[in-house]
Chains A and B, each alone.
Chain A
Amino acid sequence: DAMVIQNPRYQVTQFGKPVTLSCSQTLNHNVMYWYQQKSSQAPKLLFHYYDKDFNNEADTPDNFQSRRPNTSFCFLDIRSPSLGDAAMYLCATSPRLAGGTDTQYFGPGTRLTVL
């Protein structure tokens, strides 16, 4: 089945130790998004890629970076995790961008713990 896959589902890292979360999709969608969701809060968009074009939200900390080496994969790098970065990280995809809004389809998320 076509889907959005996130690995790992649970990630534990130490304060200040870089960590990478991965997302892959078999939907062949142009757009991939990364959201951060803290406990009992709504998801918050960090950035998105439209093909290879990277779009950062204005309030996304510099500590968060992303890479999209090809259509299928997108990575979220947290360069120096702090305790406040502990959250669920959700990846989503949508078919395209312009002229309207397509539905975003979400992966199962990676729950990050920072010790």
Chain B
Amino acid sequence: AQKVTQAQTEISVVEKEDVTLDCVYETRDTTYYLFWYKQPPSGELVFLIRRNSFDEQNEISGRYSWNFQKSTSSFNFTITASQVVDSAVYFCALSEAYNQGGKLIFGQGTELSVKP
């Protein structure tokens, strides 16, 4: 069965701190995709990154970085030097390649609060 677990329900940091959001997934498929989305208070889900199961290279985009480790079934997200604008709910999601419809299995989300 597919499952995504984001154990951290809420995180609060002070601006300029680094913060890591954890994501652990379960799947029986060998081909799958992992995603991170940001949901600010306005409600729109903003796509951040997509990773396939054959690409374990870590990725950096500005202050954002992602660490994908198949050995531990984790796909963690780090924000360096956090800013108030980073305050949002962050969702990690899984999609199996041959799952009809490309259905996204979401974690429960981590609410990040960055205080000035």
Q: Which residues of B contact A100 (CB under 8 A)?
A: 31, 33, 52, 97
Name B's interface SS. Answer: mixed
Q: How far is the CA of A28 from the CA of B100 in the complex (A)?
A: 20
Known: A103-B50, A109-B43. A43 touches B106 (CB 8 A): yes
Known: A42-B91, A42-B107, A42-B109. A101 touches B43 (CB 8 A): no
Known: A48-B101, A101-B97, A103-B35. A108 touches B108 (CB 8 A): no
- Taking a contact as CB atoms under 8 Å apart, the answer to whether A108 and B101 are in contact is no
Nearest B-chain residue to A106, judged by Cβ? B45
Total interface residues on B, CB under 8 Å, equals 27
- Taking a contact as CB atoms under 8 Å apart, the answer to whether B101 and A97 are in contact is yes
Which residues of A17-45 are within 8 A (CB) of B? 31, 33, 40-43, 45
Q: How far is the CA of A19 from the CA of B35 in the complex (A)?
A: 32
- Taking a contact as CB atoms under 8 Å apart, the answer to whether B106 and A101 are in contact is no
B103 near A: Cβ within 8 Å? yes
> Can you list, as one digit per residue, whether each of B100-114 has a CB less than 8 Å from chain A (1) or not (0)?
111110111100000
- Taking a contact as CB atoms under 8 Å apart, the answer to whether A55 and B44 are in contact is no
Which residues of B24-39 are within 8 A (CB) of A? 31-33, 35, 37
Q: How far is the CA of A48 from the CA of B45 in the complex (A)?
A: 17
Total interface residues on A, CB under 8 Å, equals 27
Which residues of A94-110 are within 8 A (CB) of B? 94, 97, 99-109
Known: A45-B104, A48-B101. A111 touches B95 (CB 8 A): no
Residues of A participating in the B interface, judged by any CB pair closer than 8 Å: 31, 33, 40-43, 45, 48, 50, 55, 88, 90, 92, 94, 97, 99-109, 111
Would you give 15 A-B contacts (Cβ < 8 Å), ordered by A?
Answer: A31-B101, A33-B101, A45-B101, A48-B101, A50-B101, A55-B101, A90-B45, A92-B45, A94-B102, A97-B101, A100-B31, A101-B33, A101-B96, A101-B99, A109-B44
Residues of B participating in the A interface, judged by any CB pair closer than 8 Å: 31-33, 35, 37, 42-47, 50, 52, 91, 95-97, 99-104, 106-109
| Minimum-distance CB pairs A-B, first 7 | A42-B106, A106-B45, A101-B95, A109-B43, A108-B44, A101-B102, A101-B33
